[in-house]
């Protein structure tokens, strides 16, 4: 049985035709007959689970909201983005491209998550923060405003993406490719693998930048 349908209420948003949704049955905290937010097509929202799009929120393109995820406020999920698990996207947040938001992650405020970025676990992305390219924010990380994260790209022998962010306990995590660890652990890994080459020299300059950025001695 379907849990929602597209209504005849339509609006255009940046040239995209969106339909208001309506719940056909009660599920989660949604009542049967309750009007929801806006989707471009039925496949933007899973017909199973408790996922829902509320109010003025929008989901378009090939984006998909599923599981127990919620999109509300003025949030917009678009492109090929996936929002699932217990994730919440709200406020004026935007999730687009091939981005993934899942687990218990929250994306809100004026935050933007796009490209191939992933936000998962108990992570929070808020304020004017931008998470993009191949960046991955996870665990109990908090990324907000302009202060507690940085992404550098292209870098390394694979021309990849390096992301560093401060966790709520004050520690700073560096992620580059399959590596994930503290700045000290990253420095040790760089010295072990790239001690006498150009990439090592670049990484050591980046490590100095990270320490300055996060006010680390």
Contact 65, 47 (CB under 8 A): no
Compute the distance between CA of residue 58 and CA of residue 41 in angstroms, rounded to an integer: 11
Q: Is the pLDDT of residue 145 over 80?
A: no
The pLDDT tens digits of the residues spanning 13-49 come to: 889 999 999 999 999 999 999 999 999 999 999 999 9
- Which candidate, 69, 104, 62, places its Cα nearest to that of 83? 69
The pLDDT tens digits of the residues spanning 58-69 come to: 999 999 999 999
Confidence of residue 175 (pLDDT cuts 50, 70, 90): confident
The pLDDT tens digits of the residues spanning 191-210 come to: 888 878 888 899 999 989 98
More confident residue, 50 or 158: 50
Compute the distance between CA of residue 136 and CA of residue 121 in angstroms, rounded to an integer: 11
Side-chain half-sphere CA neighbours of 54 within 13 A: 15
Residue 63 structure tokens: 């984006």
Most confident of 36-50, 135-149, 168-182: 36-50
- The fraction of the chain above a pLDDT of 70, given in percent, is 97
Confidence of residue 172 (pLDDT cuts 50, 70, 90): confident
- What is the helix (H) or strand (E) element at residue 213, kind and residue range? helix 198-213
Which distant-in-sequence residues (6+ apart) come within 8 Å of 199 by Cβ? Answer: 156, 157
More confident residue, 214 or 138: 214
The pLDDT tens digits of the residues spanning 90-108 come to: 999 999 999 999 999 999 9
Domain boundaries, the chain: 1-146, 148-217
Most confident of 73-87, 133-147, 186-200: 73-87
Which distant-in-sequence residues (6+ apart) come within 8 Å of 96 by Cβ? Answer: 61, 63, 76, 77, 78, 79, 81, 112, 113, 114
The string over 169-198, giving b where at least 16 C-beta atoms fall within 10 Å of a residue's C-beta and e elsewhere, is eeebbbbbeeeeeebeebbeebeeebeeee
Q: Is the pLDDT of residue 144 over 80?
A: no
The pLDDT tens digits of the residues spanning 152-164 come to: 878 888 888 888 8
Task: Please provide the DSSP assignment of 28-61 as one string.
Answer: TTBPTT-EEEEESSGGGB-SSSS-EE-TT-EE-T
Q: Is the pLDDT of residue 147 over 60?
A: no
Q: Is the pLDDT of residue 132 over 90?
A: no
Section 135-159 average pLDDT:
75
Helix (H), strand (E), coil (C) string for 160-208: EEEEEEEECCCCEEEEECCEEEEHHHHHHHHHHHHCCCHHHHHHHHHHH
In the block, residue with structure tokens 């996060």: 214
Contact 37, 71 (CB under 8 A): yes
């Amino acid at each position: 049985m379907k849990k929602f349908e597209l209504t005849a209420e339509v609006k255009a948003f940046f040239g995209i035709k969106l339909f208001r949704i309506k719940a056909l049955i009660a599920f989660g905290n949604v009542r049967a007959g309750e009007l929801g937010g806006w989707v471009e097509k039925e496949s933007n929202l899973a017909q199973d689970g408790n996922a829902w799009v509320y109010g003025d929120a929008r989901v378009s393109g090939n984006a998909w909201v599923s599981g127990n995820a919620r999109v509300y406020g003025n949030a917009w999920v678009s492109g090929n983005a996936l929002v699932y698990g217990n994730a919440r996207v709200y406020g004026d947040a935007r999730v687009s491209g091939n981005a993934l938001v899942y687990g218990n992650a929250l994306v809100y405020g004026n935050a933007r998550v796009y490209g191939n970025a992933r936000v998962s676990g108990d992570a929070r992305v808020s304020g004017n923060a931008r998470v993009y390219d191949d960046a991955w924010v996870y665990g109990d990380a908090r990324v907000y405003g302009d202060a507690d994260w940085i992404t550098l790209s292209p870098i390394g022998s694979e021309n990849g993406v390096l992301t560093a962010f401060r966790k709520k306990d004050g520690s700073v995590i560096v992620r580059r490719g399959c590596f994930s660890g503290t700045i000290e652990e990253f420095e040790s890994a760089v010295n072990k693998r790239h001690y006498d080459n150009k990439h090592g020299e670049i990484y050591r300059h980046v490590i100095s930048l990270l320490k300055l950025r996060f006010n680390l001695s």
